[in-house]
Amino acid sequence: MRLVLVGPPGAGKGTQAQFLSLHFAIPHISTGDIFRANLKDGTPLGIEAKGYMDRGELVPDSVTNEMVRDRLTKDDLANGFLLDGFPRNVAQAEVLRAILADKKTPLDAVLELAVDTAEIVLRLSGRRVCRNCGKVWHLEFEKPANPNICDICQGELYQRDDDKEEVITRRLEVYQEQTAPIIAFYRTEGLLITMSAVGSVSDITDRAISALSRVQ
């Protein structure tokens, strides 16, 4: 199974990626992990990326594309992979198609986790993180006894800047501008599977496995 997972911030891609990679016995590849590995190992691509990051600039697509190209050559991907966080735009989707065409290993499916804006804002804006132990709580779905104090260690709970409603709104705008167009791209390619990502984690996982099992 060669799979790409797409969806807006807060759709649960990271959570579902863990369960799906385990079920289908394929590695979960996130761009964050690829970046961290290249930076940690001091690869030429990692050094180049660090230069941009140290200057406060975005790492260009060309560097990200080459990191992904390199990762897709590794032996552990012989039986497939689950890509999470790449591609982020149509240009990257076209690069990925070319990389996989060279290897004669095309994608099997692109799974879109669909969640409406109101649900995303509820999910993200309700998160609170303990400054002491790092436990993540939610004011709606996993409430601490006191909204400002961690039940586990009594540490202070705070809201991350990127979980504030105005920031969430901007993140969703960026997603619509830059990433949502790949939905149409993959629909045209005949690879897109769209499913609701609302409900319990286990229900969403079961739904995803059922949808993907039909393309194997």
- Among residues 69, 88, 135, 207, which one is catalytic? 88
Please tell me whether the overall predicted TM-score, pTM, comes out greater than 0.75 for this model.
yes
Helix 13-24 and helix 201-213, axial crossing angle in degrees, nearest 10: 50
Check: CB of residue 84 under 8 Å from CB of residue 13: yes
Distance between CA atoms of residues 77 and 55, nearest Å = 34
Q: Is 160 known to be catalytic?
A: yes
Q: Is 171 known to be catalytic?
A: yes
- Among residues 69, 135, 171, 187, which one is catalytic? 171
- Among residues 36, 74, 143, 160, which one is catalytic? 160
Check: CB of residue 2 under 8 Å from CB of residue 28: no
Q: What is the pLDDT along the chain (216 residues), one digit of tens a residue?
A: 999 999 998 899 989 999 999 999 999 998 888 888 888 899 999 898 888 878 877 788 899 999 999 999 889 998 999 999 899 899 999 999 999 999 899 999 999 999 999 999 999 999 999 999 999 999 998 999 999 999 999 999 999 988 999 999 988 998 999 889 999 999 999 999 999 999 989 999 999 999 998 886
- Among residues 2, 71, 123, 127, which one is catalytic? 127
- In this structure, the strands spanning 127-130 and 157-158 are antiparallel
Boundaries of every domain in the chain: 2-26+79-213
Q: Is 88 known to be catalytic?
A: yes
Fold of 2-26+79-213: Rossmann fold (3.40.50)
Strand order in the sheet with 2-6: 28-30, 81-84, 2-6, 109-114, 192-196
